[in-house]
């Protein structure tokens, strides 16, 4: 009898532990886990550093499509990895993208309701350039992106060339206001997240090969 009660107690403890693990609140820290914003650049690889307290960035993905220019304007419709930034590319340029951009027409960085993901021609303002870019590619589908960061590097306007770590993170050099994302020496269209805190240890890598193969 005593053994049976002890067994029931152990089972109850295990069940409660599992329930606690499943249902306890997840603590997100805006400083350490959630990004402050995201920007998707164009085929020239250019992205500016937001006028926010950001010290590191993450290369989330880049466009390895056979014709990446057709994915300029693909700003939303996909499933975002971060709950505070719902916009994420989905390989299509459609009404979701043009609607996002048009709804913020005339906005500049720092304005109320400003959204960096609507700035598809990165210049800190939503204008005719952004509308035209998405409109020209309207109807494009089947765009290809990859998270394979082999050969990816970030060239800052301050002169530093930094390779992200295995998770895509790297620190932003002091004074840097813009950068170009490249795969080896070719600019690529990339989606970049910006975070407040620096990496504890900066990781830099060199490419291990001269050529490359696009990853589908």
The angle at the Cα of 89, spanning 108 to 172, to the nearest 5 degrees, equals: 60
Percent of the chain with pLDDT over 90: 75
Query: Which are the contacts of 90, defined by CB distance < 8 A and separation ≥ 6?
Result: 74, 76, 77, 78
Q: List, as one string, the DSSP characters of 182-209.
A: EETTEE--EEEEEESSPPSS------S-
Measured distance CA(108)–CA(140) in Å, rounded = 27
Rounded CA Rg of the chain: 21
Tokens of 9: 């107690």
Q: Are 119 and 192 in contact (CB under 8 A)?
A: no
The tokens 């790297």 sit on which residue? Answer: 170
Name 53's Cβ contacts closer than 8 Å, sequence gap at least 6. Answer: 36, 196
Stronger pLDDT, 73 or 206, i.e. the higher one: 73
- The closest of 124, 187, 109 to 179, measured between CA atoms, is 187
Could you give the CA distance from residue 88 to residue 193 in angstroms, rounded to a whole number?
11
Question: H or E stretch including 37?
Answer: strand 37-40
Rounded to the nearest angstrom, the gap between the alpha carbon of residue 20 and the centroid of all alpha carbons in its chain is 31
Name the DSSP letter for residue 125. B
Contact 201, 66 (CB under 8 A): no
Query: Which tokens go with 75?
Result: 């700003």
What the block records as the tokens of 177 is 């206001």
Average pLDDT of the chain is: 84
pLDDT at 81: 96
Quick check: 16 pLDDT over 60? no
Q: Check if the beta carbon of residue 51 is closer than 8 Å to that of residue 110.
A: yes
**pTM exceeding 0.85:** no
pLDDT of residue 198: 77
pLDDT category of residue 6 using cuts at 50, 70 and 90: very low
Q: What residues does 56 pair with on adjacent strands?
A: 171, 195
Instruction: Report pLDDT digits (tens) over 172-211.
Output: 999 999 999 999 999 999 999 999 987 765 444 443 333 3
What tens digit of pLDDT does each residue of 129-159 get? Answer: 999 999 999 999 999 999 999 999 999 999 9
pLDDT digits over 84-106, tens only? 999 999 999 999 999 999 999 99
Contacts of 109 (CB under 8 A, 6+ apart): 50, 51, 116, 119, 124, 125
The predicted pLDDT at position 200 comes to 60
């Amino acid at each position: 009898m005593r053994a049976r009660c002890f067994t029931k107690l152990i089972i109850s403890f295990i069940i409660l532990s599992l329930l606690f693990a499943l249902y306890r609140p997840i603590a997100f820290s805006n400083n350490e886990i959630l990004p402050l914003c995201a920007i998707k650049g164009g085929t020239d690889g250019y992205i500016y550093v937001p006028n926010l307290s950001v010290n590191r960035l993450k290369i989330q993905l880049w466009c390895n499509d056979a014709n990446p220019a057709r994915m300029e304007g693909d700003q939303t419709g996909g499933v975002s990895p971060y709950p505070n930034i719902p916009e994420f590319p989905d390989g299509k340029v459609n009404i979701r993208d043009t609607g996002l951009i048009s709804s913020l027409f005339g906005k500049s960085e720092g304005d109320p309701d400003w959204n960096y993901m609507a700035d598809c021609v990165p210049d800190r303002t939503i204008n005719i350039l952004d509308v035209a870019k998405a409109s020209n590619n309207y109807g494009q589908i089947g765009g290809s992106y990859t998270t394979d960061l082999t050969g990816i590097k970030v060239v800052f306007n301050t002169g530093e060339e930094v390779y992200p770590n295995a998770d895509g993170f790297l620190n932003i050099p002091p004074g840097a206001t813009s950068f170009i994302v490249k795969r080896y020496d070719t600019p690529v269209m990339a989606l970049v997240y910006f975070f407040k805190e620096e990496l504890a240890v900066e990781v830099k890598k060199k490419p291990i090969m001269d050529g490359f193969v696009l990853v589908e």
